[in-house]
């Protein structure tokens, strides 16, 4: 008998592709294979039309314009393009950048790289609920500040930052505002106008789309954002990102966004119910701590720390029934405790002993009950083994 795979609850790391997304992509791998830059024949026109439609869908999703969408290989590249691209374009105006200690490594590491080039970066702390203190942001602003980068939704604890208020603070001081919205696109409403966002990083694989495709929104007016390209070559994407556009992935990305927005209200309600049930089930035993704001978070995210257990032993004990992680998938092999949970003020033992549940489109009530029941039993067994 074939071994059954564990229940997948790691939706903040990646998601399975929705069959409807795959169906939309398949023709562009085979008979619609043209290069969208080849505009002298029908094959190229067909691909160009698909890319144009995809660009429009993404722009509409965040209330931007198609010309403001730059396709990338994912959110990591989009973050690098935004942060390094702005730094290179505006270094004569200033060399001070502000970000947050709990950002994804795809933001923190480019910022640390810029420090080696002479830029000054302020890494703001967060409050115990994961939210940024806006007064601290205002106090960190300087005459030479050129960029503020704050993620829309945290990849570990799901906390939603107040983008509209942050955007207002930045706009009043004529400082560019970048947000990593990899976890937020098609999961919560996004509006670059009301949020006064100047650059926004996006990706497909967190929303049941393909891996290897992302985008960067770059504002074209009020203000017009200057950006230094980080990849030179064929001049694609209006010179901001060279390389042949990957038509199948773009089609898949757009389809995933369209599906997510079309089902946003009903799916949000369903995920909130599943998350509430999981939290209620798992906290039937003592010593379970919710990480992050209880309400201002992604509907499918639940992150908890558990007292009196070893984190590695806990994950090992759970892996036969449920696939999840203790933090960011990008650093899941690290032996260090989560920098996000340490940023919340969690002591190292609790930061080690944490579980991130990413509930998704294909999870069921029955799965949630099964996982909670097994998690409780595993935690209790570990505690008893330590006591014994």
pLDDT attached to residue 336 = 78
The answer on 23 and 12 residing in a single domain is no
Catalytic residues: 330
What are the tokens at 49? 């039309």
| 98 assigned to some structural domain | yes
- Assess contact for 318 and 372: CB atoms under 8 A: no
The answer on 245 and 307 residing in a single domain is no
What are the tokens at 287? 């010593």
The answer on 289 and 239 residing in a single domain is no
pLDDT attached to residue 61 = 98
Give pLDDT tens digits for 94-141: 999 999 999 999 999 999 999 999 999 999 999 999 999 999 999 999
CA 288 – CA 271 distance, rounded (Å) = 21
CATH number at residue 364: 3.90.1150.10
HEC-encoded secondary structure of the chain:
CCCCCCEECECCCCCCCCHHHHHHHHHHCCCCCCCCCCCCCHHHHHHHHHHHHHHHHHHHHHCCCHHHEEEECCHHHHHHHHHHHHHHHHCCCCCEEEEECCCCHHHHHHHHHHHHCCCEEEEECECCCCCECHHHHHHHCCCCEEEEECCCECCCCCEECCHHHHHHHHHHCCCEEEEECCCCCCCCCCCCCCCCCCEEEEECCCCCCCCCCEEEEECCCCCCCCCCCCCCCCCCHHHCCCCCCCHHHHHHHHHHHHHHHHCHHHHHHHHHHHHHHHHHHHCCCCCEEECCCCCCECCCEEEEEECCCCHHHHHHHHCCCEECECCCHHHCCCCCCCHHHHHCCCCHHHHHCEEEEECCCCCCHHHHHHHHHHHHHHHHHHHHHHHC
Name the burial class of residue 176, with classes exposed (0-12), middle (13-18) and buried (19+) by CB atoms within 10 angstroms of its CB: buried
| 161 assigned to some structural domain | yes
| 2 assigned to some structural domain | no
pLDDT attached to residue 386 = 79
| 236 assigned to some structural domain | yes
pLDDT attached to residue 327 = 65
The answer on 349 and 274 residing in a single domain is yes
The answer on 218 and 110 residing in a single domain is yes
Sign for the CA dihedral angle at 234, 236, 242, 244 comes to: negative
The answer on 178 and 31 residing in a single domain is yes
pLDDT attached to residue 1 = 42
pLDDT attached to residue 334 = 55
The answer on 100 and 55 residing in a single domain is yes
The answer on 68 and 11 residing in a single domain is no
Give the residue from 261, 286, 316 where a domain finishes. 261
The answer on 245 and 290 residing in a single domain is no
| 44 assigned to some structural domain | yes
Name the burial class of residue 143, with classes exposed (0-12), middle (13-18) and buried (19+) by CB atoms within 10 angstroms of its CB: exposed
The answer on 282 and 229 residing in a single domain is no
Beta-bridged to residue 120, according to DSSP, are: 96
Q: Considering its fold, how many domains does the chain have in total?
A: 2
| 1 assigned to some structural domain | no
| 53 assigned to some structural domain | yes
Give the residue from 261, 280, 304 where a domain finishes. 261
Q: What distance lies between CA 118 and its chain's CA centroid?
A: 28
What does pLDDT average to in each consecutive run of 10 residues of the chain (388 residues)?
83 97 97 94 96 98 98 98 98 98 98 98 97 98 98 97 98 98 98 98 98 98 96 90 96 98 98 98 96 97 95 92 77 71 93 95 98 96 86
CATH number at residue 113: 3.40.640.10
Parent domain of 58: 19-261
Going by their DSSP bridges, the two strands 96-100 and 120-124 should be labelled as parallel
Give the residue from 214, 239, 261 where a domain finishes. 261
Beta-bridged to residue 122, according to DSSP, are: 98
The answer on 90 and 223 residing in a single domain is yes
Looking up tokens 């920098």 gives 339
- Assess contact for 12 and 326: CB atoms under 8 A: no
CA 27 – CA 288 distance, rounded (Å) = 48
CA 143 – CA 61 distance, rounded (Å) = 34
Cut 0.85: pTM above it:
yes
pLDDT attached to residue 388 = 65
The answer on 223 and 121 residing in a single domain is yes
Give pLDDT tens digits for 220-274: 999 999 999 999 998 899 889 999 999 999 999 999 999 999 999 999 999 999 9
């Amino acid at each position: 008998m074939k071994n059954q795979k564990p229940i997948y609850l790691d939706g903040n790391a990646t998601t399975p592709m929705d069959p409807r997304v795959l169906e939309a992509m398949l023709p562009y791998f085979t008979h619609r294979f043209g290069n969208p830059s080849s505009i002298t024949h029908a094959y190229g026109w067909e691909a160009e039309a698909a890319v144009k439609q995809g660009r429009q869908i993404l722009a509409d999703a965040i209330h931007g314009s198609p010309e403001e969408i730059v396709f990338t290989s994912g959110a990591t590249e989009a973050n690098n393009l935004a942060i390094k691209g702005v730094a290179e374009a505006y270094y004569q105006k200033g060399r001070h950048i502000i970000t947050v200690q709990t950002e994804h490594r795809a933001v923190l590491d480019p910022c640390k790289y810029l420090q080696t080039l002479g830029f000054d970066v302020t890494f703001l702390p967060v409050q115990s609920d994961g939210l940024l203190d806006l007064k601290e942001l205002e106090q960190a602003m300087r005459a030479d500040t050129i960029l503020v980068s704050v993620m829309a939704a945290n990849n570990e604890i799901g906390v939603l930052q107040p983008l509209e208020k942050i955007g207002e603070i930045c706009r009043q001081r004529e400082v560019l505002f970048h947000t990593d919205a990899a976890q937020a696109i098609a999961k919560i409403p996004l509006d670059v106008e009301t949020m006064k966002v100047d650059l926004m990083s996006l990706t497909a694989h967190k929303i049941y789309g393909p891996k290897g495709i992302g985008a960067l929104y770059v504002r074209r007016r009020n203000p017009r954002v200057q950006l230094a390209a980080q990849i030179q070559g064929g001049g694609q994407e209006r010179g901001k990102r060279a390389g042949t556009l990957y038509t199948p992935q773009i089609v898949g990305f757009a389809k995933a966004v369209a599906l997510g927005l079309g089902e946003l209200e009903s799916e949000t309600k369903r995920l909130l119910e599943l998350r509430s049930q999981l939290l209620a089930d798992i906290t039937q035993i003592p010593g379970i701590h919710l990480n992050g704001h209880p309400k201002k978070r992604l509907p499918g995210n639940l992150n908890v720390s558990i007292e009196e257990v070893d984190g590695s032993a806990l994950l090992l004990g759970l892996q036969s029934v449920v696939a999840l992680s203790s933090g960011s998938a990008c650093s899941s092999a690290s032996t260090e405790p989560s920098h996000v949970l340490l940023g919340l003020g969690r002591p190292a033992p609790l930061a080690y002993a944490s579980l991130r549940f990413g509930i998704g489109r294909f999870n069921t009530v029955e799965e949630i009950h099964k996982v909670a029941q097994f998690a409780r039993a595993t935690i209790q067994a570990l505690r008893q083994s330590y006591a014994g």
